C-alpha cells in the first residue's frame, strides 16, 4: 500500500473549518475591481432573484438574495479572501493530496484513472424470476454491479401471504419470502465475481443469511464475495420509517452483523450508512451530511461498547449519499464528508489503520427531484446530479430513470440512466483528472462551511446523548419536517423554480409506465404453500427456537471469536431449514417487540 503510516497521519491533524475568514479581508486588486467595475455594473443593471420576487429572496437592504436549494446564501464571487488566512501555508492540512489524509481530494491517489466508479443500478420488482431477468440484462448492458430493491412486505418482515402484505407484494421491489426465492434471484449469476448491494434494513441479517447460503451453494468462498448490506436502521427511524423492532435491539442486530462480517466475510460491507433517505425525506444538504455521519458515530460507539476493536470493523463501514440538483453544494458535501469522517475516526475513535479512517461511499441521484411533469426533463436533472457525484469522488453510482416519479422504471428508462453514467465516464473527460474542482475558491469555501456546520450539529447531538436519544426526542424528524415544509412553501411561492412544475408548464398525455398487478402475490403465495408442505417443519421449529433463545441473551465479544449470542449463525440455520422471512422476523418480534413512533407533523 502506498498510503501513509499511522504516525504520518497523526502528525498532520486536519484543522477544523472554523478558520474561514470573517469579515473578508480584500486584496487591493479585489477592492479596485469593486470600485471600478462591480459598483458601476450594479448601478446599471441590479441583480435580480432567480424565480419570483417573493420578498424572502431579498436582503434587508433590498438587494437580491441567492441561495442554494438548501436555502444557504451564496455570494456573487469567491476569491482568496473566502479561504482561511493560512490556506496557502497549510493547504496540505486543509486539503491533503488524493489518497492521503484528510482525504478531501478523494481516497484514491489516481482518482478514476485506475478504476472507474462502479455503475450500480438499483433494481427489483415483481417476482424473483422477473428480477433475475432484469439483472442479467443490466449486466449485459455494461452495469458493473447489482443492487437489490425488495418489496415492502420483505422490508417489513412479512411473507407475501400475510394479511398486511395485501396490495404491496412485488410493487416497490422484488418479493423474497424464503431461501428458495433468493436461489431464483441469483440463478446464473456468479456471486464470487459480481458485487451485490442489498437495500434491506430491519430484516437485513435474514436476507444477508439467505444471500450467504446461495453463495455457498454456488461454491463461492465467503472470504472472496463482496457487496454491501444497507442495514442502516437509524436512518429508518429518522426518515424512511421502515423499522420493525425498537432502537436498542435493532442496534444489537446491526452490531451482530459487524462482528460476524469482520470474522467471516472480510470483503463484504455489513452496512451502508445512508443519507440518501434522510435527504429524500426533506433534509437540507447539510442535515443529510451531519445526520448521516453522526449515525456512523453511533454505530461505532455501540460496536466499541460490545467490545469490538474499531480497526476490526471500521474498514468495512460504507456510506451512501444523495446527489441533488444544486451542483456545487453537492460536490462540497461529498468532499467534506471524507474529511469529517477522517477527523472523527482519528480524533474521536483513535482508529489506527488508514482503511478505518477513509470514507467510501455510494451515491444515488435524487429521486425526490424528479418530476412527473415533462418526464424527459429528468434525464437532464439526473445527468447534472451524476456529474456532481463523480466530481465529488463517489465510489459507485446509481442514476435514476426518468420515469421514477411515476413508477418503477421501464427497461428503456433504466437503460438511458445507465447510458448517462457511461457518457460521463467515457465521453465527458471528467474522469481523467483527480478532484478537478479542488482549489476552486467557491467549492473550497462551501466544503469548509459544510464541515463546520456538521460539527455544530454533532455538538448538539452529543449533548442530547447520541442519535438513538435524539431520535426518541424526535429531533432529526422535526428538523426534516421543517426543512421540507420550507422548501414546499418556496416552490409554492415560485421563489424556487422547478421546470415543468411551477413554471414552463405544458399540457401532457399520460406516459407508458411499468405496471405491476396483483398476480405477484398469487404466485408467491402458491410458492409458499408448496414450500411449507415440502420442508421439514421440525427443523424450522427447532432453528427458530434456538434463534429466539440467542436473541434474548446479551452478546459479548471475545477476541477472534464470535459472541455466543450473536444472532447471525442462528439465522443462517433458520434460513438453511427454509424458514421464511416472515417466520424469522416473527421470532425476533416475539423477543424484542415492535416500535411505534410518536407522530410529529
Partner 1 sequence: MTSDPNVKPEHEFPIRVLVAKPGLDGHDRGAKVIARALRDAGMEVIYTGLRQTPEMIVNASIQEDVQCIGLSILSGAHNAIVPRLMALLKERSADDILVVLGGTIPAQDIDFLKQQGVAAIFGPGTPLETTVEFIRENVKPRGVPA
**DSSP, res 236:** I
Q: Work out which of 46, 142, 167, 429 binds partner 1, going by CB under 8 A.
A: 167
φ, ψ (nearest 5 deg) of residue 229? -105, 135
Q: Is 171 in the site for partner 1 (CB under 8 A)?
A: yes
Given 44, 459, 515, 558, the residue binding partner 1 (CB under 8 A): 515
Q: How far is the CB of 486 from partner 1 (least distance, A)?
A: 10
Of 484, 532, 589, 591, the residue at the interface with partner 1 (CB under 8 A) is: 484
Nearest distance in Å: CB 480, partner 1: 8
174 makes contact with partner 1 (CB under 8 A): no
Check binding of 278 to partner 1 (CB under 8 A): no
Chain residues 69-128 in contact with partner 1, contact rule CB under 8 A: none
Considering the complex, state which of residue 19 and residue 514 has its C-beta at the smaller distance from partner 1. Answer: 514
Residue whose CB is less far from partner 1, 158 or 260: 158
Compute CA distances 363 → 275, 482, 537, whole Å: 9, 25, 43
- What are the start-end ranges of the H helices in 400-518? 411-426, 441-464, 467-472, 475-492
Contact between 510 and partner 1 per CB under 8 A: yes
CB nearer partner 1, residue 64 or residue 513: 513
> Which of 74, 139, 220, 481 touches partner 1 (CB under 8 A)?
481
Q: Which one of 17-25, 425-433, 496-504, 573-581 is the stretch in contact with partner 1 (CB under 8 A)? A: 496-504
User: Judged by CB under 8 A, does residue 526 bind partner 1?
Assistant: no
Q: How far is the CB of 272 from partner 1 (least distance, A)?
A: 18
Length of the chain: 601
Told to check if 451 binds partner 1 by CB under 8 A, we report: no
Residue located via cell numbers 486584496: 27
Q: Closest by alpha carbon to 208, among 569, 493, 503? A: 569
CA distances (Å), origin 274, targets 239, 271, 292, 435, 595: 10, 9, 6, 23, 20
Cβ 54 to partner 1, closest distance in Å? 15
Spatial separation of the C-alpha atoms in residues 161 and 181, rounded to whole Å: 14
Query: Taking the complex as a whole, how short is the minimal distance between the CB of residue 207 and partner 1, in angstroms?
Result: 16
Q: Which of 189, 384, 498, 546 lies at the binding interface for partner 1 (CB under 8 A)?
A: 498
Q: Is 522 in the site for partner 1 (CB under 8 A)?
A: no
Options 193, 223, 241, 530; binder of partner 1; rule CB under 8 A = 241
Q: Which of residues 137-156 bind partner 1 (CB under 8 A)?
A: 152-153, 155-156
Counting other chains too, the contacts that 17-22 makes at CB distance below 8 Å and 24 or more residues apart are 17/84, 17/448, 17/449, 17/451, 17/452, 17/455, 18/452, 19/84, 19/85, 19/86, 19/448, 20/82, 20/83, 20/84, 20/445, 20/448, 20/449, 20/452, 21/81, 21/82, 21/83, 21/84, 21/85
Task: Give the interface segment with partner 1, choosing from 60-68, 191-199, 438-446, 488-496 (CB under 8 A).
Answer: 488-496
Choose between 430 and 491: whose C-beta lies nearer to partner 1. 491
Q: Does 281 bind partner 1 (CB under 8 A)?
A: yes
Candidates 339, 293, 256, 272; CA nearest to 118 is 272
Closest by CA to 122, choosing from 140, 154, 145, 141, is: 145
Which stretch in 108-116, 253-261, 505-513, 534-542 sits in contact with partner 1 by CB under 8 A? 505-513
Stretch that binds partner 1, among 177-185, 267-275, 411-419, 485-493 (CB under 8 A): 485-493
Residues 119 and 431: beta-carbon distance below 8 Å: no
The C-alpha angle 71, 74, 78, rounded to 5 degrees, equals 160
- Kindly state whether residue 45 participates in binding partner 1, applying the rule CB under 8 A: no
- Locate 435 and state its grid cell: 478532484
499 binds partner 1 (CB under 8 A): no
Q: Which is nearer to partner 1, 82 or 403 (CB)?
A: 403
Phi, psi of 121 (to 5 degrees): -95, 125
Q: Does 52 engage in binding with partner 1 (CB under 8 A)?
A: no
Residue 19 contacts residue 455 (beta carbons within 8 Å): no
**Which residue lies nearer to partner 1 by CB, 243 or 294?**
243
DSSP 8-state code for residue 170: T
- The answer to whether 234 and 276 have CB atoms below 8 angstroms apart is no
By CB under 8 A, which span of 203-211, 293-301, 370-378, 464-472 interacts with partner 1? 370-378
Question: How many amino acids of this chain bind partner 1 (CB under 8 A)?
Answer: 49
Cα 366 to Cα 255: distance, rounded to the nearest angstrom: 29
For residue 321, the 8-state DSSP code is E
Based on the shown chain and the rule CB under 8 A, indicate whether residue 479 belongs to the binding site for partner 1: no
Q: What are the respective helix, strand and coil percentages of the chain, to the nearest 5?
A: 50, 10, 40
Burial label, 115 (beta-carbon count in 10 A; 0-12, 13-18, 19+): exposed
Nearest to partner 1 of 277, 333 (CB atom): 277
User: Shortest gap between Cβ of 245 and partner 1 (angstroms)?
Assistant: 14
Q: Residue from 14, 172, 179, 336 that binds partner 1 (CB under 8 A)?
A: 172
What's the closest the beta carbon of residue 366 comes to partner 1, in angstroms? 13
CB of 70 to partner 1, least distance (A): 15
Smallest CA-to-CA distance from 78 within 338, 444, 419 is with 444
Residue with cell string 436512518 = 235
Beta-bridged to residue 268, according to DSSP, are 227
Question: Contact, 125 vs 118, CB < 8 A?
Answer: no
Q: 558-597: which residues touch partner 1 (CB under 8 A)?
A: 596-597
Q: Which residues bind partner 1 (CB under 8 A)?
A: 152-153, 155-156, 158, 164-168, 171-172, 236, 240-243, 280-282, 368, 371-373, 405-407, 480-481, 484-485, 488-489, 492, 498, 501-502, 510-511, 513, 515-516, 518, 596-601
Amino acid at each position: 500500500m502506498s498510503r501513509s503510516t499511522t504516525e504520518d497521519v497523526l502528525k498532520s491533524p486536519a484543522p477544523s473549518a472554523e478558520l474561514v475568514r470573517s469579515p473578508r479581508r480584500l486584496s487591493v486588486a479585489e477592492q479596485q475591481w469593486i470600485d471600478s467595475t462591480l459598483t458601476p455594473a450594479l448601478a446599471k443593471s441590479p441583480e435580480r432573484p432567480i424565480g419570483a420576487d417573493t420578498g424572502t429572496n431579498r436582503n434587508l437592504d433590498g438587494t437580491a438574495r441567492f441561495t442554494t436549494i438548501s436555502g444557504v446564501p451564496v455570494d456573487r464571487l469567491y476569491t482568496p479572501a473566502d479561504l482561511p488566512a493560512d490556506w496557502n501555508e497549510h493547504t496540505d492540512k486543509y486539503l491533503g493530496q488524493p489518497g492521503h489524509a484528510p482525504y478531501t481530494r478523494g481516497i484514491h491517489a489516481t482518482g478514476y484513472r485506475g478504476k472507474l466508479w462502479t455503475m450500480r443500478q438499483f433494481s427489483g420488482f415483481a417476482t424473483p424470476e422477473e428480477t433475475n431477468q432484469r439483472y442479467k440484462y443490466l449486466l449485459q448492458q455494461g452495469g458493473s454491479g447489482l443492487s437489490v430493491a425488495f418489496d415492502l412486505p420483505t422490508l417489513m418482515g412479512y411473507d407475501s401471504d400475510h394479511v398486511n402484505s395485501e396490495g404491496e407484494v412485488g410493487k416497490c421491489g422484488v418479493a423474497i419470502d424464503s431461501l428458495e426465492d433468493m436461489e431464483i434471484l441469483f440463478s446464473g449469476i456468479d456471486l464470487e465475481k459480481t458485487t451485490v448491494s442489498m437495500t434491506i434494513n430491519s430484516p437485513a441479517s435474514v436476507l444477508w443469511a439467505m444471500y450467504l447460503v446461495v453463495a455457498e451453494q454456488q461454491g463461492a468462498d465467503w472470504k472472496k464475495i463482496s457487496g454491501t448490506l444497507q442495514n442502516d436502521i437509524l436512518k429508518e427511524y429518522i426518515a424512511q420509517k421502515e423499522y420493525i423492532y425498537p432502537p436498542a435491539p435493532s442496534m444489537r442486530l446491526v452490531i451482530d452483523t459487524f462482528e460476524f462480517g469482520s470474522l467471516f466475510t472480510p470483503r463484504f460491507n455489513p452496512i451502508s450508512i445512508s443519507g440518501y433517505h434522510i435527504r429524500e425525506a426533506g433534509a437540507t444538504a447539510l442535515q443529510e451530511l451531519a445526520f448521516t455521519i453522526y449515525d456512523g458515530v453511533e454505530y461505532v460507539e455501540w460496536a466499541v461498547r460490545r467490545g469490538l476493536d474499531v480497526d476490526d470493523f471500521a474498514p468495512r463501514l460504507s456510506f451512501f449519499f444523495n446527489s441533488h440538483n444544486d451542483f456545487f453544494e453537492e460536490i462540497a458535501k461529498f468532499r467534506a464528508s471524507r474529511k469529517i469522517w477522517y477527523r472523527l475516526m482519528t480524533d474521536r475513535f483513535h482508529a489506527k489503520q488508514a482503511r478505518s479512517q477513509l470514507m467510501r461511499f455510494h451515491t444515488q441521484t435524487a429521486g425526490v427531484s424528479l418530476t412527473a411533469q415533462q418526464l424527459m426533463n429528468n434525464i437532464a436533472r439526473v445527468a447534472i446530479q451524476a456529474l456532481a457525484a463523480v466530481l465529488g469522488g463517489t465510489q459507485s453510482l446509481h442514476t435514476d430513470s426518468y420515469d421514477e416519479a411515476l413508477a418503477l422504471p421501464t427497461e428503456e428508462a433504466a437503460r438511458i440512466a445507465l447510458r448517462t453514467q457511461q457518457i460521463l465516464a467515457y465521453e465527458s473527460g471528467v474522469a481523467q483528472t483527480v478532484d478537478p474542482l479542488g482549489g476552486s475558491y467557491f467549492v473550497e469555501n462551501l466544503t469548509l462551511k459544510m464541515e463546520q456546520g456538521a460539527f455544530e450539529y454533532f455538538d448538539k447531538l452529543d449533548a442530547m446523548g447520541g442519535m438513538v436519544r435524539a431520535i426518541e426526542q424526535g429531533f432529526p424528524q422535526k428538523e426534516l419536517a421543517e426543512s421540507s415544509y420550507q422548501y414546499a412553501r418556496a416552490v409554492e411561492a415560485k421563489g424556487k423554480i422547478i421546470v415543468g412544475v411551477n413554471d414552463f408548464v405544458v399540457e401532457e398525455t399520460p406516459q407508458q409506465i411499468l405496471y405491476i398487478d396483483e398476480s405477484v402475490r398469487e404466485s408467491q403465495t402458491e410458492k409458499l404453500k408448496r414450500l411449507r408442505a415440502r420442508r421439514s417443519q421440525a427443523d424450522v421449529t427447532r432453528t427458530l427456537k434456538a434463534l429466539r433463545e440467542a436473541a434474548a441473551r446479551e452478546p459479548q465479544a471475545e477476541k477472534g471469536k464470535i459472541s455466543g449470542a450473536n444472532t447471525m449463525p442462528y439465522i443462517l440455520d433458520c434460513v438453511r431449514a427454509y424458514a421464511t422471512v416472515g417466520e424469522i422476523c416473527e421470532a425476533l418480534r416475539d423477543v424484542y417487540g415492535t416500535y411505534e413512533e410518536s407522530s410529529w407533523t
